[in-house]
Chains A and B, each alone.
Chain A
Amino acid sequence: AQSVTQPDIHITVSEGASLELRCNYSYGATPYLFWYVQSPGQGLQLLLKYFSGDTLVQGIKGFEAEFKRSQSSFNLRKPSVHWSDAAEYFCAVGPGFQKLVFGTGTRLLVSP
Chain B
Amino acid sequence: ETGVTQTPRHLVMGMTNKKSLKCEQHLGHNAMYWYKQSAKKPLELMFVYNFKEQTENNSVPSRFSPECPNSSHLFLHLHTLQPEDSALYLCASSQGLMDTGELFFGEGSRLTVL
A67 at the interface (CB under 8 A from B): no
Are B42 and A104 touching (Cβ within 8 A)?
yes
Q: Is the CB of A95 within 8 A of B105?
A: no
Contact A43 B107 (CB under 8 A): yes
Within the assembled complex, what's the spacing in Å between the Cα atoms of A4 and B44?
A: 13
The answer to whether A102 and B48 touch (CB under 8 A), given A43-B106, A46-B103, is no
Chain A residues contacting B45 (CB-CB under 8 Å) are 99-100
In the bound complex, how far is the Cα of B31 from the Cα of A46, in angstroms? 17
A90 within 8 A of B: yes
Assess the A46–B43 pair: CB atoms within 8 A: no
Report how many residues on chain B are interfacial, defined by Cβ distance under 8 Å.
28
C-alpha spacing A42/B90, complex, angstroms: 10
What 0/1 pattern do residues 73 to 100 of B give for CB contact below 8 A with A?
Answer: 0000000000000000010101011101
- Cross-interface CB contact of A97 among B4, B33, B90, B110, cutoff 8 Å: B33
Q: Which residues of A contact B48 (CB under 8 A)?
A: 97-98
CB of A45 within 8 Å of the partner chain: yes
**Neighbouring B residues of A51 by C-beta, 8 Å:** 100
A72 vs chain B, min Cβ distance (A) = 17
- The 5 lowest CB-CB distance pairs between A and B, nearest first, are A96-B98, A43-B105, A102-B43, A44-B105, A43-B107
